[in-house]
Amino acid sequence: MIRYCPEIFTEKQNKAIRIAFGQYRYLPKQLKEELQERGYMDDLRQELYLSALLAAKQSEDYKEIRRFIQRRIYYFLKEYGFRKTASTYFYRYSWGIFKRKEVENGV
């Protein structure tokens, strides 16, 4: 795993890394817990670093870097079996990670 050491990265790369971990903050708490339980958290951190470095190479624009990182996070989660489900009440999207509740009487 890459350890963050600001001295070895350029200012442009540091900016992209800050944006990447800023996007990580917006992931739902349940999703973060599920990733931790399954042991994918180190993989996600590595993907965030890699995405940030690639984004810094491609562009300096904040919006473009953010969108690139969001796409990479989405592809990462999709690759590990997570999917987006639409919430009909709030019209927002949430990750389909919730486990089914065990029903009594076998129904």
pLDDT in tens, 43-57: 999 999 999 999 999
pLDDT of residue 106: 52
The DSSP H or E segment spanning 86 is: strand 84-86
Structure confidence at residue 97 (pLDDT): 55
Cα–Cα distance, 40 to 86 (Å, whole number): 24
Quote the pLDDT of residue 55. 94
Which segments of the chain have a pLDDT < 50? 88-93, 100-103, 107
Write phi, then psi, for 7 (nearest 5 degrees): -70, -30
What is d(CA 21, CA 56) in angstroms, rounded to the nearest whole number? 14
Q: Give the model's pLDDT for residue 35.
A: 87
For 75, the token pair is: 């592809």
Question: What whole-number distance in Å separates Cα of residue 93 and Cα of residue 14?
Answer: 30
Q: What is residue 91's predicted lDDT score, i.e. its pLDDT?
A: 32
The pTM of this model reads 0.73
